[in-house]
Amino acid sequence: MFDTILIANRGEIACRVIRTARRLGIRTVTVYSEADAGALHAAMADTAHCIGPAPARDSYLDIGRILDAARRSGAQAIHPGYGFLSENAEFAAACAAAGIVFIGPPPGAIRAMGSKSAAKTLMQEAGVPLVPGYHGAEQDPAHLAGEAARIGYPVLIKASAGGGGKGMRVVDDAAGFAEALALAKGEARSSFGDDTVLIERYLTRPRHVEIQVFADAHGQVVSLFERDCSIQRRHQKVVEEAPAPGMDPARRASMGEAACAAARAIGYVGAGTVEFIVEGSDFFFMEMNTRLQVEHPVTEMITGQDLVEWQLLVASGKPLPQDQLRIDGHAIEVRVYAEDPDRDFMPAVGTLTHLQPPAEGPHVRVDTGVRPGDSIGVHYDPMIAKLIVWDRDRPSAVRRLVHALSEYQVVGLQTNLGLLRRIAAHPAFAAAELDTGFIGRHGAELMPSYGPVPDAALAAAALRVLQDRAAAVAGAGRLDPFSPWNLPTAWRMNGDGYQDIVLADGETLHAVRAHSCADGSTRLDLPGGTVIAAGGTVDGVRRATPVVRSGSVLTVILDGTNHPLTLVDPLAPPHAEVAGGDRLLAPMPGRVVDVLVRPGDTVARGDVLMVLEAMKVQMRLSAPRAGVVDAIRAAPGDLVEDGAELVSFVVAEPSPQTP
């Protein structure tokens, strides 16, 4: 076994590897970019080396800098995690050339499966069923459009070199093919340095089922059963579970044998995942991920095995453990992301001003790489954590998931927690009615609903304001303890003491009047009626309702839902009006990829003006209204901040009517 390993990654997977290495007595070295100087993974390791600026190409993707850090630290092996260089054959070969063990498959196996097109050809030769499609080298747009027509719409455009949903687009008809192809190729080029794509028939109600395989250098290949990863957005997994619901023993055996055969065919060593698309009684090979998967914890929970420990054993030349593998119970994982489901899952940036995951134990596990106060920036994946639950069967695991999600608290940026809670509580999820169209089909029930702020949230916010005011008054009272103006009861010379609190929910104002009662309680006049607050209860009911305050913004966490409210000062001067729809603003920080208009161009509402890339996702930004382009404020390659003005318009005057 190794004495020292370097982890060539960041975030939760780096922290995950450190935990196993520490348990095994292995010294750990991490690398970090300048943006990650204060990151958790850098703090957890025994030593950490800075390897360059924030952009991944200058740090986490720089093979030379990582190998230099390994040499200087005395690391005997490198664990690549997932993403970045984890499936890079050149990196694996460079490690071997430097005399450092790559904790992963040999370069030849990575190359064999690194190209989705080549992998499908290999599987076809091995007799593994494939989805009808085009996997050739000819990449001329006209040729690809012809292949799409031959296959039949809808089709899926997929980056050949990629994964994680990057460089993927579903196209419903020929009219949308050219635009989707350009976006897919752009994302593939940016994420993987290779814009080669393949085209497949898009199955309408498929399930995504994958097999976890493991192989050692002594010829052993085993299957650690399957995971269902069907619930996705943007072709990226949101919910994963093991075992797959409805999987019968015969299907499990046949898929496991096919996955192991695929691993043997390429001389595989280490952890890998063979992904299948399943529809009806048929299953088709999709791809093989030659690394540890994000969702590996659900396999660990049902098998009782530590897959990172297995990776370390195999990489050090030892055979696979001879434990009898069996499925015990059911596990479900959800990915907690900084993103806005209501804006097409656009990544979010900001500071985790409040972060409180559910308590961990035998039934609940949280894998994360962030702490309260950390920031989610524009340079890397916006995942906050993975929440994993386990219980004796699927219904019990679903109940565990619902409860754990209700306890998860994040304030400071937009997250998908609300969506995850609605998925977990949805009857179709409870019934295991799973396929890759789950979120789209149930979107009306799963997407955020914006009803009025509950009185309970207004009461909690008002009580927090009163508490803060009382603390401020108490401080002043120490200076003049005999002044009635320094009493926390809002004393008045004539009439009952009361305080008015105005809270804004967006553009809607809510007025709350708080009366100090003689018995020490507080009467709150709320929009829906009056309640009495005393001793931590409201109308005699004690309810955990955290309130996180940041300046004038109070975020009430009620039944797992965040209700951000702004304390309004009625005496403050009004804010100046912001410009309306005569400007295109950046929806988030990012890099301008392309500008599609020039000053003087006439555009209609909805016309695409720019392409912006943020967190490896390319977004086409459209005109908010019809008009004439007045000025363009950013050029390709520019980095822009959230809310930055990108394009300004002159509203077209209506043509005079001839009488």
Candidate list 65, 207, 233, 291, residue with the active-site label: 291
Residue bearing tokens 């994964």: 163
Classify residue 359 by burial, with Cβ atoms within 10 Å: 0-12, 13-18, 19+: exposed
d(CA 391, CA 332): 9
Q: Rounded CA gap, 92 and 103, in Å?
A: 9
Closest to 345 (Cα-Cα) out of 232, 186, 433, 422: 232
Q: Select from 124, 104, 106, 95 the least CA-distant residue to 267.
A: 106
What is the number of alpha carbons within 13 Å of residue 372 lying toward its C-beta?
Answer: 10
291 is catalytic: yes
String of DSSP letters for 174-230: GGGHHHHHHHHHHHHHHHHS---EEEEE--SS-EEEEEEEEE-TTS-EEEEEEEE--
Q: Which residues contact 342 (CB under 8 A, 6 or more apart)?
A: 447, 448
Q: What angle do CA 591, 595, 598 make, to 5 degrees?
A: 145
Measured distance CA(426)–CA(447) in Å, rounded: 12
d(CA 438, CA 245): 15
Task: Determine the angle formed by the axes of helices 296-303 and 307-315, rounding to 10 degrees.
Answer: 100
> Token pair for residue 561?
């839902």
Overall residue count recorded for the chain in this entry? 659
Six token digits for residue 405: 């999600």
In eight-state DSSP terms, residue 439 is: H
Angle at 214 between CA 209 and CA 215, to 5 degrees: 140
541, two tokens:
């009911």
5 close to 79: Cβ distance less than 8 angstroms: yes
Q: 255-292: string of b/e by CB count within 10 Å (b at 16+)?
A: bbebbbbbbebbebbbbbbbbbbbeeeebbbbbbbbbb
The Cα–Cα gap between 358 and 362 comes to 12
**Cβ-based neighbours of 406, under 8 Å, separated by 6 or more:** 421, 559, 560
CA atoms within 13 A on the CB side of 545: 23
Residues assigned a catalytic role: 291
